[in-house]
């Protein structure tokens, strides 16, 4: 694993969701020097307290630490939520010997409940004492319904890039999605890092969906410890690769998911229209349940494109699923085989290619199926 110079990681149990929950649920990333800070946040009008605070800190552009927790989103908690976030930032800052506004808060979990500040603050000295070289401990501390920690790294010349993320449900991005932290030791300006992150998320974090629900807490933070001079174009590619791989891991770990689905739309008027069509198919409950049941019901795909709001001629649409042509000129293909498609839909990975015209617009979206387990997980999330 390629760990950027200057960063350390830790995690402890603080009983964030409930005192009897014994897993690590509070994590810390610490940069030994001043780090350049960038980030993107949910565009949900209902924003969690850590998002409100985090946006202020990202605008300033520097940080020393990230203090994260799972089990409680600190969302829809009003002014008290902001106050609680700042209390924990203050406590971490004192222990680390940095300023409070150099600690960026992250939270994920149940909405509408105050953070257990007393239980959390008393564990911060142990959190600081535990700082070490293993980023996976931090990745595990922010997991909720995730089934595995998500950590991706790259070597870029003498520099390194690493990213951690959490997320398996409530994923329908419009900036980034879930919680993610990307770190590098490459020398970058604030403007460099902002440009790289904004460019990188459009076809990665903004091209995935599990269930069509955008979270109140979605945050992607990026930090550079500025210790290694490397070619910026190479660093941009390294960061983009890490972000892409994290995004795909989120889909592969979708709540209750049994299929990883790639949806390619081509022939649209522009990329924006192609994305609208692809997302419409990806978020269709009827499409997702058909994929789960290996039901060769291609009409659901064409219908989802039809109500996407994209202008196209239905008689020019062609659809292939995992290489098998199912629609030609808006109708069932002459070579369509229900048995063949049923067999293909049993595979773990499925690719849906949709051509809606001759325009230059293209976009690829990644999604999953919708299973019985998704309903079970989300019907019991708070209870």
pTM of the model: 0.89
- Of 204, 228, 252, the residue that ends a domain is 252
Tell whether 2 is covered by a domain. no
319: domain CATH number?
3.10.20.340
What does the alpha-carbon distance between residue 296 and residue 298 come to, in Å, rounded to a whole number? 6
Q: Are 316 and 358 found together in one domain? A: yes
**176, 276: one domain:** no
State the pLDDT confidence band at 34, using cuts at 50, 70 and 90. Answer: very high
Q: How many CB atoms lie within 10 A of CB 77?
A: 21
Q: Which residues belong to the active site?
A: 177
Residue where a domain terminates, one of 252, 280, 313:
252
Helix ranges (H only) for 255-359 are: 271-282, 285-292, 299-306, 338-344
Task: Answer yes or no: do 145 and 282 share one domain.
Answer: no
Q: Is residue 1 part of a domain?
A: no
- Same domain, yes or no, for 219 and 102? yes
Is-contact 214 183, C-beta < 8 A?
A: no
- Same domain, yes or no, for 198 and 304? no
The 3-state DSSP composition of the chain as helix, strand, coil percent (nearest 5) reads: 35, 30, 35
Strand pairing partners for 197?
A: none
Q: Are residues 39 and 182 in the same domain?
A: yes
Helix axes 271-282, 299-306, angle to 10 degrees: 130
| The pLDDT value given to residue 44 | 84
Averaged pLDDT of the chain = 92
Q: Are 31 and 163 in the same domain?
A: yes
Q: Is 161 left (phi over 0), alpha (psi -120 to 50) or beta?
A: beta
Q: Summarize pLDDT for 223-234 with one digit per residue, the tens.
A: 999 999 999 999
Domain shared by 324 and 240, yes or no: no
Q: What is the number of residues in the chain?
A: 383
Of the three residues 252, 269, 300, the one that is the final residue of a domain is: 252
Cβ contact 11:124 at 8 Å:
no
Q: Are residues 158 and 295 in the same domain?
A: no
| 260-267 vs 349-355, strand pairing mode | parallel
Indicate the range of 112-116, 136-140, 144-148, 221-225 predicted with least confidence: 144-148
**pLDDT tens, residue by residue, 349-378:** 999 999 999 999 999 999 998 887 777 766
pLDDT digits (tens, 9 = 90+) for 177-208: 579 999 999 999 999 999 999 999 989 888 88
Instruction: Report residue 301 as tokens.
Output: 């795909």
**Cα angle value 382/84/121 (rounded, 5°):** 90
Choice between 237 and 19, residue whose per-residue pLDDT is larger? 237
Q: Do 127 and 191 reside in the same domain of the chain?
A: yes
What is the SS3 assignment for 244?
Answer: helix
pLDDT(151) > 60: yes
Domain that holds residue 290: 260-379
232-245 burial code (b ≥16 CB/10 A, e <16): eeebbbbbbbbbbb
Domain tally for the chain? 2
> Is residue 275 domain-shared with residue 151, that is, in the same domain?
no
Parallel, antiparallel, or unpaired: how do β-strands 318-321 and 103-110 relate?
A: unpaired
């Amino acid at each position: 694993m390629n760990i950027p110079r200057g960063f350390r990681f830790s995690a402890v149990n603080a009983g964030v969701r409930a005192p009897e929950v014994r897993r690590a649920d509070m994590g810390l990333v610490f940069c030994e020097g001043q780090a350049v800070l960038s980030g993107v946040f949910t565009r949900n009008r209902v924003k969690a307290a850590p998002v409100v605070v985090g946006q202020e800190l990202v605008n300033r552009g520097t940080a020393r630490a990230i203090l994260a927790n799972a089990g409680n989103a600190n969302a829809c908690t009003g002014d008290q939520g902001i106050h609680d976030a700042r209390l924990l930032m203050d406590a971490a800052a004192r222990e680390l010997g940095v300023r409070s506004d150099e600690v960026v808060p992250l939270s994920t979990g149940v909405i509408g409940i105050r953070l257990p500040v007393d239980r959390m603050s008393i564990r911060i000295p142990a959190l600081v004492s535990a700082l070490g070289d293993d980023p996976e401990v931090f990745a595990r501390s922010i997991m909720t319904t995730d089934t595995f920690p998500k950590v991706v790294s790259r070597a870029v010349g003498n520099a390194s890039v690493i990213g951690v993320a959490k997320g398996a449900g409530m994923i329908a991005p419009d900036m980034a999605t879930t919680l993610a932290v990307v770190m590098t030791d490459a020398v970058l300006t604030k403007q460099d890092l902002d440009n790289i992150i904004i460019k990188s998320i459009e076809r990665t974090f903004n091209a995935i969906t599990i269930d069509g629900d955008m979270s109140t807490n979605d945050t992607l933070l990026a930090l550079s410890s500025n210790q290694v001079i490397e070619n910026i174009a190479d660093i941009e590619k390294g960061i983009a690769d890490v972000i892409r791989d994290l995004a795909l891991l989120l889909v592969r770990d979708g709540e209750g998911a049994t299929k990883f689905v790639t949806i390619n739309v081509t022939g649209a008027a522009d990329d924006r229209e192609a994305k609208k069509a692809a997302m419409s198919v990806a978020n269709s409950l009827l499409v997702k349940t058909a994929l789960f049941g290996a039901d060769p019901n291609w009409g659901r795909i064409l219908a989802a494109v039809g109500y996407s709001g994209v202008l196209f001629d239905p008689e020019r649409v062609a659809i292939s699923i995992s290489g098998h042509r199912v629609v030609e000129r808006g109708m069932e293909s002459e070579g369509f085989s229900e048995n063949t498609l049923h067999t293909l839909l049993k595979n773990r990975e499925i690719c849906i290619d949709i051509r809606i015209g001759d325009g230059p617009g293209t976009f690829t979206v990644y999604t999953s199926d919708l299973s019985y387990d998704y309903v079970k997980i989300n019907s019991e999330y708070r209870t």
